[in-house]
A and B are shown apart, each in its own frame.
Chain A
């Protein structure tokens, strides 16, 4: 399998630009494994991304057509390409700030249209590339370079946002559990309609070191320990779910 994965990557794109301990490399591997296991032809796929660390997961690494767009606009660009050539298998891989803040309008409208594409949000809860500013996904109380006293705003639950907008496949799996993540990505990619996967991915450089995570290992361990399957979470009160990462499939319909 690893041999197959390396053939899907542009050799001249190594080394990757990601910091030590960044979760995006795990996500990159999981996406490629999912595609390889599905036996999809990379030459018939289009990978669109916006601006930020996560946008570099497909571009320039993937040996396929890649469209590295403006900040926030990947879904809108991908919409045009998909509509004109419906044979293209379209994936958008980008970050939380890109997809849900500056690009939030395109995210909810693509979900509403149920346009056939897979959107993967590499969600590190911070603007990493620009130095660690607060995001619309940063937990309350977290310290960032623009919230030195702790974040006062409530974060988006992106799965709930996209579900309410009409997406027909919605799931969350963190990079801390790469096997279930790959399994979920496979189902999302094979889904016909708008599929969204929220992938919590640690940023030790910009988030971890300002929030008492001494090492990247501590951070990914904390992420893993915070996970609770959606089935188990159903019976719990909001207070019991505070600080938890609810994982699993929230929506999977063929409507």
Chain B
């Protein structure tokens, strides 16, 4: 099965019953698979007039009670960004799949890239604590889409599947589990839908039509949804909670995978499709006796800062191959004083294992 199709299968398994999208390479296959699969489960599909319409109707459907998703690529994420910020402040669970292509702008639509790492984190204005996963296989396109839905519901946030063209169009065997762990939003009719006593709580979420007289607004609001656009205490409490409700529980989300790191002096940190090449590179260097290992970031946001700090203490240098000019390499430098060497590639082609081997050798000479 193809990665994009596996993503759609994961969404259905997680309980997704609403999809809105707009055609874009290399994410269109998710939409074309969803239209057929949603028909099987009596879900709702709509092709909207643009990506702004897609994210808007996803948010509307989520408040009507749906687990809802859209999928796109870089240009579509740019258009959706204001809506994603609205989902942050209104605490609307939804899943956004970004099958990254080579940018900037229209760039190379059919070629892979990893240039949206910072965009999905810092696209919307104001503070946030985003949730994003970076699948490296068809299996993970399925598994991590389910996880994205679960954390979207758990924290009432927009959650990203940050894929890339190479993994989206990859064909591999997919193993579908008989039972999938699924998290659903909780309801509590007498509690406020936009505030909690705890500074890091997740409030209950009623749906439209249930008699809750919901007041949903993108303006700063009190726990019942009343606009408070000049109250600094309400602004502070809301914006702090929107971050802390994820940040204080980030260990639930953060996932890394260690390969051959036990005795390593040199580390490679990678994610998405590039991590496959990184693993090959590490294995071939090991054959020559180089003590090198790979730390793969399965989740990208919240960032695995403790794992990076720990890695920095154990290794004398960290290499970061990625299909951008060093977005994650730069993030690493916030959490370790160990030298971090970026191995960027931005020509629209995937990174080859030999290129990573060569990059490490060049430094080690």
**Residues of chain A at the chain B interface (Cβ within 8 Å):** 10, 12-13, 43-44, 46, 48, 59-60, 63-70, 73, 76-85, 87-88, 105-106, 109
Contact = CB atoms under 8 A, between A and B. Distances in A.
A80 B59 CA distance: 7
Contacts of A81: 60-61, 63-64, 208
B171 interface: no
B212 interface: yes
Interface residues of B, number: 40
Interface string B207-232: 11101111111110000011100000
A46 B59 contact: no
Nearest to B208: A65
B215 A48 contact: no
Q: Is the interface of B mostly helix, strand, loop or mixed?
A: mixed
B18 A70 contact: no
Contacts of B66: 80, 84
Given A43-B211, A85-B208, A80 B82 contact: no
B215 A60 contact: yes
A11 to B, nearest CB: 12
B216 A67 contact: yes
Contacts of B57: 76-77, 79-80, 83
B60 A68 contact: no
B217 A64 contact: no
A73 B49 CA distance: 12
A73 B209 contact: no
Contact of B44 (A44, A70, A83): A83
Interface string B32-61: 000000000000101011101100111111
28 contacts: A12-B226, A43-B209, A46-B209, A59-B215, A59-B227, A60-B215, A63-B213, A65-B209, A65-B213, A65-B216, A66-B216, A67-B60, A67-B63, A67-B216, A69-B86, A70-B83, A73-B52, A76-B52, A76-B53, A78-B60, A79-B57, A79-B60, A80-B60, A82-B60, A84-B64, A85-B209, A109-B48, A109-B53
A106 B54 CA distance: 11
Contacts of B59: 69, 77, 80
Given A70-B218, A106-B49, A109-B49, A84 B56 contact: no
Contacts of B219: 68
Given A12-B226, A85-B64, A68 B53 contact: no
Nearest to A78: B60
Q: Which 9 A-B pairs have the closest CB atoms?
A: A80-B57, A80-B60, A76-B56, A80-B61, A77-B60, A68-B217, A81-B60, A84-B64, A109-B49
